[in-house]
Amino acid sequence: MDEERIIQIIKEKGPIIPTQLTKELEANTFIINALLSSLTSKKRLLYTQKRIGDSPIYYLPEQKENIIKILTPRLDHRETEVLEKIRKQEILTEEEMTPPERFFLKQLMDFTEPIIKNNKRGWKIWGAKIEEVQQQQPKPIEIQKRIIEPKIKPQPEKKKITQDNFTLKIREALSKKRVRILNEEIIRLNAEANYIVEVPTTLAIQKYFVKARNKKTINEQELITAWFESQKHELPVMYITTGKINKKAQKLLETELKDKIKIITL
């Protein structure tokens, strides 16, 4: 299961909510939400401000008109009145709205777009072709000023963290397993680090992404996050921890993440 599969499903079936994807892909809710979060951060997917139940609707940028058709029947009559007022005036500034209209506007972000009118923030109907209207401002009188550059004292160079007790422990553990470290990134001192390593196997040398956590308990969300980080590097993931895997995380390792994460406990 990957992001491309979700994109393909939404192309074929149209805008969708997470529970529909969970059923379609027979996947864990955490994984689906993480995939959707990744896709929206890349702007490959958008999601609605209005919700169906507790869930927004996820859609492709080119499916915006479909979203408006889906959501329009769900509008409150007072929201419809605000939309009609914007449609008639073309641009409605916040100053021209009553307090109730401003309140209902917050529920209409899927139907409107911000625009500037006379240097004031306003709103127009989504997709309406209206140019921003600006008042002509008098040209400022140019006054020549003598610019005195402030003297900046050189700042002492910060020392880059190269090791701590936790990473020393990780390096030692990897060395005992004859694992070669190609790259090390300390995320938090004595708490978290990432590695790219080479692991010798009977057939060949295998590269891994390693997430190391100095934590008493590891939960399912932390495992999913590590798995997604490994996908960015297109490498299998090894998870090294000083703590224990909780029950939900263990269940995830036996189902959706089975054979996808190698756990090493120090």
Encode pLDDT of 182-202 as tens digits: 999 998 999 999 999 999 888
Fold of 165-265: Trna Endonuclease; Chain: A, domain 1 (3.40.1350)
Mean pLDDT of 226-249: 88
Higher pLDDT, 108 or 151: 108
Q: Is the pTM of this model over 0.75?
A: no
* 75-125 CATH: 1.10.10
Quick one: pLDDT at residue 146? Answer: 46
Mean pLDDT of the chain: 84
Instruction: Tell me: pLDDT of 119 over 90.
Output: no
Instruction: Tell me: pLDDT of 135 over 80.
Output: no
Tell me how far apart the alpha carbons of residues 255 and 175 are, in angstroms, rounded to a whole number.
31
CA angle 212, 218, 222 (to 5 degrees): 75
By CB atoms closer than 10 A (0-12, 13-18, 19+), residue 250 is middle
Mean pLDDT of 8-31: 90
Quick one: pLDDT at residue 145? Answer: 43
Instruction: Tell me: pLDDT of 152 over 90.
Output: no
Task: Please report which confidence band the pLDDT of residue 157 belongs to, taking 50, 70 and 90 as the band edges.
Answer: low
Instruction: Tell me: pLDDT of 161 over 60.
Output: no
Instruction: Please state, in angstroms and as integers, the Cα–Cα distance from residue 110 to each residue in 14, 50, 77, 127, following that order.
Output: 17, 7, 16, 11
Mean pLDDT of 232-243: 90
Which of 36-50, 127-141, 214-228 is most confident? 36-50
Mean pLDDT of 154-159: 54
Mean pLDDT of 16-26: 90
Domain borders along the chain are: 3-71, 75-125, 165-265
CA angle 163, 165, 170 (to 5 degrees): 80
Token pair 């995380």 is found at 249
Identical fold for domains 75-125 and 165-265, yes or no, is no
Main-chain dihedrals φ then ψ at residue 251, nearest 5 degrees:
-65, -40
Tell me how far apart the alpha carbons of residues 234 and 231 are, in angstroms, rounded to a whole number.
5
Task: Please report which confidence band the pLDDT of residue 143 belongs to, taking 50, 70 and 90 as the band edges.
Answer: very low
Cβ–Cβ contacts within 10 Å for residue 189, how many? 14
What percentage of the chain has pLDDT greater than the value 70?
Answer: 87
Instruction: Tell me: pLDDT of 134 over 80.
Output: no
What's the residue count for the chain?
A: 266
Task: Please report which confidence band the pLDDT of residue 151 belongs to, taking 50, 70 and 90 as the band edges.
Answer: low
Instruction: Tell me: pLDDT of 43 over 80.
Output: yes
CA angle 82, 83, 88 (to 5 degrees): 100
Instruction: Tell me: pLDDT of 59 over 80.
Output: yes
Looking at residue 204, its amino acid is A
Q: Does domain 3-71 have CATH number 1.10.10.10?
A: yes
Quick one: pLDDT at residue 154? Answer: 59
Strand 205-213 relative to strand 192-200: parallel, antiparallel, unpaired? Answer: antiparallel
Mean pLDDT of 9-25: 91
